[in-house]
Structure 1
């Protein structure tokens, strides 16, 4: 048997050349197809192992009638996402899970809203670019699931979407998290709630708003709110526009760490003492919340794990390992108390 030669990337053709046989014979042997003897098959496999040959994922996907890709569209400014830890962590979690199943992540940014996102889905389906997608930030009457159903494309949802389509989802513990946040500010002696949310069209933001309104009413403390984008600037503007006279010592509950940071900066710029005169809590924890001065109390919702669970669930759905309709519950978040609500 000839001494195996190390190629930069061994292929069927290089193996055939080394062994002095046809590429078809090598292909049959590597793919366990009839037409070659057991001895020849073992000879080819041994040479492939010695040269470090690995199957081409794209060719394998084509043979399976799949692209080998899972898509994710973010309706965001890419620069904004680069500063937004939550979406970065979710994306990393998705990629980590699907790569373990042999899939690649195809990421696309759009700025034209859900309609432009749907056009991306249509293009992907027409070109057979992806086998499934992960959906984020669903609206109450979101038309994306029905579109994906019509395109015969599998998808996973992160959130509480309920619809007739075939999909898998990872649900978030919004009710438990809302209770944790409100109980914390009440225990710390804050007597009002200034809620700063992300875009109001998102179903999870409306759900958070309804939950906090109900919980604050149950504790007998006033509540007000304002919505905007997930940016520091939006947090500052929302805090400036909020009615800070609703109580003697209110607390801000912000839907993201960047919104919370914006509110905190606006408060400090106006000479408001944090935490003695105002508390600040973020619905998302990150390094930003940890290193800000004062550090921001936040909910550790483990977005990486959230994305990883969704990616794994979708990959297993595509491999036929789980049924459509399978739903997993993300565990309730852990509150991380910091100086923005406590002087301890």
Structure 2
């Protein structure tokens, strides 16, 4: 895994931070414009989009906090570092999208649907102007996030879609999801306002607000599920597991890798614990040299594994059989990933 830059040995997040800052600036300006325009024009779709932008603005603050806090050095209380702070704050961002954005938008649409007589949008020019400006700003922020994810995908040797599914940095993925949802939300709001003006029926703006609410709830669900998996202790990408297994198996002196366990500790930090059976005839000095060489090669070839533990144990026939089955399942997982475009 390639790191952007380092300062005193701590990787920097220049590209990711830039994407978050751009998104925050865009969302703050857009949120104010949508609130003012929604109140002036009494547009439920525009007010739903205003809630969306307010939620996104709060989430960018969460994500900026995660960038700073996740880079703290390991200490006695957190010997594996603070990388999982990134996942925790991404979880909070998902909750913010669900509650502040999704629930309010859904309420706004439902209220308009049940009480259409009290919802008569005026000043359509204001609505369209605010939404078009929002579309340009959100589109620019989405472009910035897309370029950052493409860069990460290129460094990881993946495509864009695969990086979105399997990338280890939730921050820029959250920004991308927020911006993509924002662009779709603006298009829905434009459609709702246009159909309302064309037909004179506020049900269209109510439907747009409901659709925006459902969209935000779905995005929040996906982001929250990913963050939950990482917080619980998700294994690294199958392709990285396969490379680590191949490197260990090719190490002179290692007969069989009977178990390989991994866990993502942060965007560029992972733990690897392997149980290995050595060839016969090695003395204690030879075992020590082998372990040092194996760890060094892993850290050189796969620097994301900054925590490596090897357990030397003798394997019986049953353990070898289980190890072969696990290797086969891992290869199948990697093949499925590649077939899906990874």
User: TM-score, normalised to structure 1's length?
Assistant: 0.27
Where relative contact order (Cα < 8 A, 6+ residues apart) is larger, the structure is 2
User: TM-score, normalised to structure 2's length?
Assistant: 0.27
Structure having the larger proportion of residues in helix: 2
